[in-house]
A and B are shown apart, each in its own frame.
Chain A
Amino acid sequence: AQKITQTQPGMFVQEKEAVTLDCTYDTSDPSYGLFWYKQPSSGEMIFLIYQGSYDQQNATEGRYSLNFQKARKSANLVISASQLGDSAMYFCAMREGWAAGNKLTFGGGTRVLVKP
């Protein structure tokens, strides 16, 4: 079974509008972390935002916010006021457990194209 599922392979968004990228996960570990990364066409992976399984508040980082619904096992990324530079691939990822050596498992990604 997939541990991280991103159901939207690609989407268009109008500049200055908000966009929500879906992510659902599957784990039996009560301690886990959820991450979102952005990958522009140049290939580098840019860390955007983090949500821990015990965090009571939804994470926010500038224009990025995470809609964390623990019971539904979803961690959707919301990008507000989209900019042309937001066009990229976006990956949701999960780390099970807190150890530094624990791997990150990635979802299939969502390609976002911001239209002017």
Chain B
Amino acid sequence: GAVVSQHPSRVICKSGTSVKIECRSLDFQATTMFWYRQFPKKSLMLMATSNEGSKATYEQGVEKDKFLINHASLTLSTLTVTSAHPEDSSFYICSARDAGGVHNSPLHFGNGTRLTVT
């Protein structure tokens, strides 16, 4: 089945530093990838839609200068949390859908990145 690889799975960083999270589709091409954030015991909240070769589309309330998204190829999207603060600590999950998939093809998710900012 379709596989999405997300790295790192866990990261601890100091306040003020930046963290980059990678999301790769391993066996399919994804013109669009999605970045979600999940707080403990809560649902997934969409942060932004990452489009290959163009600017990402951010959801309302998400700071685009804070969460930089780059989708440089059909198999790679990155999320950079800039100048991280403790309130950015969360579980970040990327997902992708096969560009050649039909309407019922699901989103495939990475295993998530648990970010802790100290």
Interface size on B, residues (CB 8 A): 28
A104-B34 contact in complex given A45-B93, A91-B44, C-beta closer than 8 Å:
yes
Instruction: For A6, give the chain B residue with the smallest CB separation.
Output: B43
How many residue-residue contacts, CB under 8 A, span A and B? Answer: 58
Q: In the assembled complex, how far is the CB of residue B29 from the closest CB belonging to chain A, in whole angstroms? A: 10
Q: Which of A21-29, A62-70, A75-83, A95-103 contacts B (4 or more CB under 8 A)?
A: A95-103
Q: Which of B14-22, B61-69, B75-83, B101-109 contacts A (4 or more CB under 8 A)?
A: B101-109
Interface size on A, residues (CB 8 A): 23
Cβ of A43 and Cβ of B91 under 8 Å apart? Answer: yes
When distances are taken between beta carbons in the complex, the residues of chain A under 8 Å from B49 are 101, 103
Task: Select B31's contact among A33, A43, A47, A100, beta carbons within 8 Å.
Answer: A100
Q: Mark B44-76, 1 if CB is under 8 A from A, else 0.
A: 111001010000000000000000000000000
When distances are taken between beta carbons in the complex, the residues of chain A under 8 Å from B43 are 91, 106-109
A44-B109 contact in complex given A101-B32, A106-B44, A108-B43, C-beta closer than 8 Å:
yes
